[in-house]
Amino acid sequence: MVKKIAKYPEVADMMPKNLTRSTSELNPLPNILIIGHLLRLDEVNEECFKYSLETVRRTMPLLLNTLITTAYELMTMYANGSSIKKITAKNIQMLIYFKQSFTQGLWMKEDPHLQLPHFNDTVIKKLRKRRVDLKL
pLDDT in tens, 44-100: 888 988 899 999 999 999 999 999 999 999 999 999 999 888 899 999 999 998 998
- DSSP 8-class letter at 44: G
Higher-confidence position of 14 and 75? 75
Looking at residue 111, what is its pLDDT?
82
pLDDT of 103 over the 60 cut: yes
Backbone angles phi, psi at 87, to 5 degrees: -110, 125
Which helix (H) or strand (E) segment holds residue 71: the answer is helix 50-79
Contact 68, 99 (CB under 8 A): yes
Q: Please list, residue by residue across 71-106, b when 16 or more beta carbons sit within 10 angstroms of its beta carbon and e when fewer do.
A: beebbeeeeeeeeeeebeeeebeebeebbebbeeeb
Looking at residue 65, what is its pLDDT?
95
Contacts 24+ apart (CB under 8 A), 8-17: 8/39, 10/107, 10/109, 11/35, 11/39
| C-beta neighbour count of 10 within 10 angstroms | 13
Contact 106, 114 (CB under 8 A): yes
CA pair distance 125, 111, nearest whole angstrom: 11
Which of these, 74, 39, 35, lies nearest to 56 by C-alpha position?
35
CA pair distance 103, 62, nearest whole angstrom: 11
